[in-house]
Structure 1
Amino acid sequence: MDRIRSLHVEAIRERGPNGYTDRQVEAWATKDDGTDAYPVTESSHHLVIAERDGEVVGYGHVIPEGEEIRAVYVDPDHARRGVGSTILAHLEGYALGQGVDRLELWSSLNAVAFYERQGYRTTRDETIQKEYEGESVPLPVRVMEKSFGPWR
Protein backbone atom coordinates (compact mmCIF):
# COMPACT_ATOMS: atom_id res chain seq x y z
CA MET A 1 0.00 0.00 0.00
CA ASP A 2 2.94 2.37 0.49
CA ARG A 3 3.75 2.20 -3.23
CA ILE A 4 0.12 2.96 -4.10
CA ARG A 5 0.29 6.03 -1.87
CA SER A 6 3.56 7.29 -3.34
CA LEU A 7 2.38 6.61 -6.91
CA HIS A 8 -0.87 8.45 -6.16
CA VAL A 9 1.02 11.53 -4.90
CA GLU A 10 3.56 11.45 -7.76
CA ALA A 11 0.79 11.31 -10.35
CA ILE A 12 -1.08 14.20 -8.72
CA ARG A 13 2.01 16.39 -8.57
CA GLU A 14 2.99 15.60 -12.16
CA ARG A 15 -0.41 15.81 -13.90
CA GLY A 16 -2.43 17.95 -11.49
CA PRO A 17 -0.99 21.28 -12.71
CA ASN A 18 -2.74 20.62 -16.03
CA GLY A 19 -6.04 21.44 -14.33
CA TYR A 20 -5.33 23.06 -10.97
CA THR A 21 -3.33 25.76 -9.20
CA ASP A 22 -0.21 24.87 -7.20
CA ARG A 23 -2.17 25.25 -3.95
CA GLN A 24 -4.95 22.96 -5.18
CA VAL A 25 -2.38 20.36 -6.28
CA GLU A 26 -0.70 20.39 -2.87
CA ALA A 27 -4.05 20.13 -1.08
CA TRP A 28 -4.97 17.16 -3.28
CA ALA A 29 -1.55 15.50 -2.90
CA THR A 30 -1.41 15.82 0.90
CA LYS A 31 -2.41 12.43 2.31
CA ASP A 32 -2.25 12.64 6.10
CA ASP A 33 -3.89 9.23 6.45
CA GLY A 34 -1.93 7.66 3.59
CA THR A 35 -3.95 4.90 2.00
CA ASP A 36 -5.86 4.18 5.22
CA ALA A 37 -8.87 5.96 3.74
CA TYR A 38 -8.94 3.45 0.87
CA PRO A 39 -11.13 0.57 2.08
CA VAL A 40 -9.84 -1.68 -0.69
CA THR A 41 -9.69 -4.74 1.52
CA GLU A 42 -13.47 -4.75 1.88
CA SER A 43 -15.18 -7.49 -0.12
CA SER A 44 -17.30 -5.00 -2.07
CA HIS A 45 -14.20 -3.24 -3.42
CA HIS A 46 -11.90 -4.39 -6.22
CA LEU A 47 -8.33 -3.11 -6.52
CA VAL A 48 -6.11 -3.80 -9.51
CA ILE A 49 -2.38 -3.09 -9.63
CA ALA A 50 -0.44 -2.78 -12.89
CA GLU A 51 3.18 -3.92 -12.91
CA ARG A 52 5.99 -3.71 -15.43
CA ASP A 53 9.16 -5.68 -14.77
CA GLY A 54 8.08 -6.21 -11.16
CA GLU A 55 7.51 -2.49 -10.55
CA VAL A 56 4.09 -1.03 -9.66
CA VAL A 57 3.25 1.44 -12.44
CA GLY A 58 -0.44 2.04 -11.83
CA TYR A 59 -3.51 1.07 -9.90
CA GLY A 60 -7.27 1.33 -10.06
CA HIS A 61 -10.18 0.80 -7.73
CA VAL A 62 -13.84 0.05 -8.45
CA ILE A 63 -16.86 -0.46 -6.20
CA PRO A 64 -19.33 -2.48 -8.31
CA GLU A 65 -22.17 -2.24 -5.77
CA GLY A 66 -21.93 1.54 -5.91
CA GLU A 67 -21.40 1.53 -9.69
CA GLU A 68 -18.32 3.67 -9.06
CA ILE A 69 -14.79 3.85 -10.40
CA ARG A 70 -12.95 5.24 -7.39
CA ALA A 71 -9.44 5.66 -8.82
CA VAL A 72 -7.17 5.20 -11.82
CA TYR A 73 -3.62 6.46 -11.31
CA VAL A 74 -0.47 5.85 -13.35
CA ASP A 75 3.17 6.46 -12.45
CA PRO A 76 4.20 9.59 -14.40
CA ASP A 77 7.18 7.71 -15.90
CA HIS A 78 4.74 5.25 -17.48
CA ALA A 79 1.99 7.67 -18.54
CA ARG A 80 0.66 7.66 -22.09
CA ARG A 81 1.71 4.05 -22.69
CA GLY A 82 -1.68 2.37 -22.28
CA VAL A 83 -1.39 1.62 -18.57
CA GLY A 84 -4.36 3.77 -17.53
CA SER A 85 -6.65 2.55 -20.29
CA THR A 86 -5.72 -1.06 -19.51
CA ILE A 87 -6.47 -0.57 -15.81
CA LEU A 88 -9.78 1.12 -16.62
CA ALA A 89 -10.76 -1.67 -19.04
CA HIS A 90 -10.03 -4.24 -16.34
CA LEU A 91 -12.14 -2.36 -13.78
CA GLU A 92 -15.01 -2.03 -16.26
CA GLY A 93 -14.81 -5.73 -17.13
CA TYR A 94 -14.83 -6.70 -13.49
CA ALA A 95 -17.86 -4.47 -12.82
CA LEU A 96 -19.69 -5.86 -15.86
CA GLY A 97 -19.03 -9.36 -14.55
CA GLN A 98 -20.73 -8.30 -11.32
CA GLY A 99 -23.87 -7.26 -13.24
CA VAL A 100 -23.22 -3.50 -13.44
CA ASP A 101 -24.59 -1.78 -16.56
CA ARG A 102 -23.23 1.73 -15.86
CA LEU A 103 -20.33 3.27 -13.99
CA GLU A 104 -19.80 6.72 -12.55
CA LEU A 105 -16.58 8.47 -11.57
CA TRP A 106 -15.46 11.84 -10.28
CA SER A 107 -12.71 12.99 -12.63
CA SER A 108 -10.05 15.54 -11.85
CA LEU A 109 -10.04 18.28 -14.48
CA ASN A 110 -6.69 17.11 -15.86
CA ALA A 111 -8.11 13.61 -16.55
CA VAL A 112 -11.41 14.53 -18.27
CA ALA A 113 -10.02 14.08 -21.80
CA PHE A 114 -8.68 10.62 -20.88
CA TYR A 115 -12.09 9.48 -19.66
CA GLU A 116 -13.86 11.01 -22.66
CA ARG A 117 -11.59 8.95 -24.95
CA GLN A 118 -12.71 5.87 -22.99
CA GLY A 119 -16.40 6.63 -23.61
CA TYR A 120 -17.34 8.53 -20.46
CA ARG A 121 -19.51 11.64 -20.64
CA THR A 122 -19.87 14.51 -18.18
CA THR A 123 -23.13 14.57 -16.22
CA ARG A 124 -22.38 17.46 -13.86
CA ASP A 125 -19.71 19.51 -12.12
CA GLU A 126 -18.97 19.23 -8.40
CA THR A 127 -16.44 20.69 -5.99
CA ILE A 128 -14.53 18.72 -3.37
CA GLN A 129 -13.18 20.63 -0.36
CA LYS A 130 -9.69 19.61 0.84
CA GLU A 131 -8.16 20.83 4.09
CA TYR A 132 -4.67 22.20 3.58
CA GLU A 133 -2.64 24.30 5.99
CA GLY A 134 -5.75 25.07 8.04
CA GLU A 135 -7.75 26.24 5.06
CA SER A 136 -10.46 24.65 2.93
CA VAL A 137 -9.24 24.47 -0.67
CA PRO A 138 -11.86 23.85 -3.41
CA LEU A 139 -11.10 21.25 -6.07
CA PRO A 140 -13.55 21.33 -9.00
CA VAL A 141 -14.24 17.90 -10.53
CA ARG A 142 -16.39 16.49 -13.31
CA VAL A 143 -18.83 13.72 -12.56
CA MET A 144 -18.81 11.36 -15.53
CA GLU A 145 -20.61 8.16 -16.45
CA LYS A 146 -20.50 5.37 -18.97
CA SER A 147 -23.32 2.97 -19.80
CA PHE A 148 -22.76 -0.55 -21.15
CA GLY A 149 -24.87 -2.83 -23.28
CA PRO A 150 -26.78 -2.62 -26.57
CA TRP A 151 -29.86 -1.15 -24.88
CA ARG A 152 -28.16 2.20 -24.22
Structure 2
Amino acid sequence: MTDEFKHRIATPDDLEALHALMVRSIAQNQSDFLTPQQVAASDKVMGLDTQLVRDGTYFLIECDGRIAGCGGWSFRATLYGGDDSVVAREPATLDPATDAAKIRAMYTDPDFTRRGIGARILALCEDAARQAGFQRVELMGTAAGVPLYRAQGYTPAAEQEYASVGDVKIPLLRMEKHFD
Protein backbone atom coordinates (compact mmCIF):
# COMPACT_ATOMS: atom_id res chain seq x y z
CA MET A 1 0.00 0.00 0.00
CA THR A 2 1.10 3.50 -0.72
CA ASP A 3 -0.92 4.94 2.17
CA GLU A 4 -2.09 7.75 -0.10
CA PHE A 5 -5.48 8.65 1.35
CA LYS A 6 -8.01 10.59 -0.71
CA HIS A 7 -11.47 11.71 0.29
CA ARG A 8 -14.65 12.29 -1.63
CA ILE A 9 -18.41 12.48 -1.13
CA ALA A 10 -20.09 9.06 -1.23
CA THR A 11 -22.51 8.27 -4.04
CA PRO A 12 -25.30 5.69 -4.39
CA ASP A 13 -22.82 3.49 -6.27
CA ASP A 14 -20.83 3.17 -3.00
CA LEU A 15 -23.71 1.84 -0.89
CA GLU A 16 -22.90 -1.87 -1.18
CA ALA A 17 -19.23 -1.36 -0.34
CA LEU A 18 -20.10 1.01 2.53
CA HIS A 19 -22.51 -1.53 4.02
CA ALA A 20 -19.86 -4.26 3.85
CA LEU A 21 -17.28 -1.99 5.53
CA MET A 22 -19.72 -1.11 8.31
CA VAL A 23 -20.49 -4.77 9.04
CA ARG A 24 -16.76 -5.54 9.31
CA SER A 25 -16.08 -2.44 11.37
CA ILE A 26 -18.84 -3.16 13.89
CA ALA A 27 -17.83 -6.82 14.22
CA GLN A 28 -14.11 -6.23 14.65
CA ASN A 29 -13.59 -2.70 16.00
CA GLN A 30 -16.27 -2.97 18.70
CA SER A 31 -15.16 -6.39 19.98
CA ASP A 32 -12.54 -4.97 22.37
CA PHE A 33 -15.20 -2.77 24.01
CA LEU A 34 -18.43 -4.77 23.95
CA THR A 35 -19.54 -8.29 24.76
CA PRO A 36 -20.21 -10.65 21.83
CA GLN A 37 -23.95 -10.19 22.45
CA GLN A 38 -23.61 -6.40 22.35
CA VAL A 39 -21.57 -6.55 19.14
CA ALA A 40 -24.20 -8.78 17.50
CA ALA A 41 -27.01 -6.45 18.62
CA SER A 42 -25.13 -3.37 17.37
CA ASP A 43 -26.30 -4.07 13.82
CA LYS A 44 -29.78 -3.01 14.98
CA VAL A 45 -28.52 0.28 16.41
CA MET A 46 -25.78 1.32 13.98
CA GLY A 47 -25.41 1.06 10.24
CA LEU A 48 -25.84 2.67 6.89
CA ASP A 49 -28.07 5.75 6.66
CA THR A 50 -28.65 6.34 2.98
CA GLN A 51 -30.20 9.76 3.74
CA LEU A 52 -26.67 11.06 4.37
CA VAL A 53 -25.58 9.87 0.93
CA ARG A 54 -28.68 11.41 -0.70
CA ASP A 55 -27.99 14.68 1.15
CA GLY A 56 -24.38 14.73 -0.11
CA THR A 57 -22.98 14.95 3.42
CA TYR A 58 -21.30 11.55 3.66
CA PHE A 59 -17.54 11.28 3.12
CA LEU A 60 -15.36 8.33 2.41
CA ILE A 61 -11.60 7.98 2.55
CA GLU A 62 -9.96 5.74 -0.02
CA CYS A 63 -6.53 4.18 -0.18
CA ASP A 64 -5.35 2.17 -3.17
CA GLY A 65 -8.91 1.72 -4.43
CA ARG A 66 -10.32 0.55 -1.08
CA ILE A 67 -12.62 2.42 1.26
CA ALA A 68 -10.55 2.89 4.40
CA GLY A 69 -13.24 4.72 6.35
CA CYS A 70 -16.41 6.73 6.13
CA GLY A 71 -18.51 9.15 8.08
CA GLY A 72 -20.71 12.15 7.62
CA TRP A 73 -22.53 15.06 9.09
CA SER A 74 -26.16 15.99 8.92
CA PHE A 75 -28.36 19.05 8.99
CA ARG A 76 -31.23 16.75 10.07
CA ALA A 77 -32.35 15.93 13.61
CA THR A 78 -31.53 12.20 13.57
CA LEU A 79 -28.55 11.70 15.89
CA TYR A 80 -27.66 8.09 15.10
CA GLY A 81 -28.89 4.86 13.56
CA GLY A 82 -29.07 3.37 10.10
CA ASP A 83 -31.80 2.54 7.63
CA ASP A 84 -32.49 -0.81 9.29
CA SER A 85 -31.97 0.17 12.92
CA VAL A 86 -34.47 0.12 15.77
CA VAL A 87 -33.65 3.76 16.55
CA ALA A 88 -36.31 6.41 15.90
CA ARG A 89 -35.60 8.64 12.90
CA GLU A 90 -36.07 12.42 12.85
CA PRO A 91 -35.64 13.80 9.30
CA ALA A 92 -36.60 17.38 10.23
CA THR A 93 -34.00 19.93 9.23
CA LEU A 94 -32.02 21.81 11.87
CA ASP A 95 -31.51 25.55 12.35
CA PRO A 96 -27.76 26.34 12.26
CA ALA A 97 -28.32 29.37 14.50
CA THR A 98 -29.70 27.31 17.38
CA ASP A 99 -29.08 23.60 16.71
CA ALA A 100 -26.00 21.42 16.53
CA ALA A 101 -25.13 19.64 13.30
CA LYS A 102 -24.95 15.88 13.76
CA ILE A 103 -21.79 13.85 13.12
CA ARG A 104 -23.03 10.49 11.91
CA ALA A 105 -22.08 6.94 10.97
CA MET A 106 -18.32 6.97 11.52
CA TYR A 107 -16.62 3.69 10.53
CA THR A 108 -13.05 2.63 9.85
CA ASP A 109 -12.12 -0.53 8.00
CA PRO A 110 -10.32 -2.78 10.53
CA ASP A 111 -7.32 -2.94 8.17
CA PHE A 112 -6.89 0.85 8.48
CA THR A 113 -7.32 1.56 12.20
CA ARG A 114 -4.84 3.80 14.02
CA ARG A 115 -3.88 5.64 10.84
CA GLY A 116 -5.75 8.91 11.29
CA ILE A 117 -8.83 7.99 9.24
CA GLY A 118 -11.35 8.89 11.96
CA ALA A 119 -9.68 12.22 12.74
CA ARG A 120 -9.59 13.10 9.06
CA ILE A 121 -13.28 12.30 8.58
CA LEU A 122 -14.19 14.31 11.67
CA ALA A 123 -12.26 17.30 10.32
CA LEU A 124 -14.04 17.05 6.95
CA CYS A 125 -17.43 16.87 8.66
CA GLU A 126 -16.69 19.72 11.05
CA ASP A 127 -15.46 21.95 8.22
CA ALA A 128 -18.59 21.24 6.15
CA ALA A 129 -20.91 21.88 9.12
CA ARG A 130 -19.08 25.10 9.93
CA GLN A 131 -19.40 26.23 6.29
CA ALA A 132 -23.14 25.51 6.51
CA GLY A 133 -23.35 27.97 9.42
CA PHE A 134 -23.41 25.63 12.41
CA GLN A 135 -21.64 26.76 15.58
CA ARG A 136 -21.43 23.31 17.16
CA VAL A 137 -21.72 19.62 16.42
CA GLU A 138 -22.87 16.63 18.40
CA LEU A 139 -22.67 12.88 18.00
CA MET A 140 -23.57 9.65 19.73
CA GLY A 141 -20.31 7.88 20.50
CA THR A 142 -19.92 4.14 20.69
CA ALA A 143 -17.57 2.65 23.27
CA ALA A 144 -14.94 2.20 20.56
CA GLY A 145 -15.36 5.75 19.23
CA VAL A 146 -15.33 7.73 22.49
CA PRO A 147 -11.50 7.78 22.85
CA LEU A 148 -11.15 9.27 19.34
CA TYR A 149 -13.84 11.85 19.96
CA ARG A 150 -12.30 12.92 23.27
CA ALA A 151 -8.90 13.28 21.56
CA GLN A 152 -10.55 15.53 18.94
CA GLY A 153 -12.04 17.89 21.52
CA TYR A 154 -15.50 16.39 22.06
CA THR A 155 -16.92 16.39 25.58
CA PRO A 156 -19.82 14.43 27.08
CA ALA A 157 -23.13 16.27 26.74
CA ALA A 158 -25.13 13.77 28.83
CA GLU A 159 -24.77 10.76 31.07
CA GLN A 160 -24.05 7.33 29.59
CA GLU A 161 -27.06 6.06 27.64
CA TYR A 162 -28.00 2.61 26.42
CA ALA A 163 -29.74 1.48 23.27
CA SER A 164 -31.77 -1.66 23.91
CA VAL A 165 -32.10 -4.51 21.45
CA GLY A 166 -34.21 -7.10 23.21
CA ASP A 167 -32.45 -7.81 26.50
CA VAL A 168 -29.10 -6.47 25.26
CA LYS A 169 -28.05 -2.94 26.20
CA ILE A 170 -25.43 -1.15 24.11
CA PRO A 171 -23.59 1.75 25.80
CA LEU A 172 -23.62 5.10 23.98
CA LEU A 173 -22.38 8.55 24.96
CA ARG A 174 -23.78 11.80 23.54
CA MET A 175 -20.86 14.17 22.94
CA GLU A 176 -20.51 17.70 21.58
CA LYS A 177 -17.99 20.18 20.31
CA HIS A 178 -18.32 23.95 20.01
CA PHE A 179 -16.49 25.74 17.22
CA ASP A 180 -14.28 28.64 18.25
Could you report, residue by residue, the CA deviation over 1:107-148 in whole angstroms, capped at 9, with x for unpaired residues?
001211110000000121211123xxxx34211100000000
Equivalences, count:
141
Counterpart of 2:43?
29
Counterpart of 1:63?
74
Give the AA of the match of 1:90: L
Partner of residue 169 from structure 2, selected from 116, 138, 143: 138
Matching of residue 91 in structure 1 with residue 103 in structure 2? no
More strand by share: 1
Gaps of 5+ in 2: 1-14, 76-93, 95-99
Give the AA of the match of 1:73: Y
Shift of 1:14: 1.1
Task: Name segments (4+ residues, structure 1) moved above 6 Å.
Answer: none
The structure-2 alpha-carbon separation of the partners of 1:38 and 1:127, relative to structure 1 and needing over 3 Å to count, comes to: farther
Quote the Cα distance in structure 2 between the aligned partners of 1:16 and 1:47.
Answer: 21
TM-score by length of 1: 0.85
Identity, % of aligned positions:
32
Give the AA of the match of 1:16: Q
More helix by share: 1
Quote the Cα distance in structure 2 between the aligned partners of 1:11 and 1:118.
Answer: 20
Gaps of 5+ in 1: none
Give the AA of the match of 2:124: H
TM-score by length of 2: 0.72
Give the AA of the match of 2:109: D
Contact 1:60 1:87 in 2 (8 A): yes
Quote the Cα distance in structure 2 between the aligned partners of 1:30 and 1:142.
Answer: 17
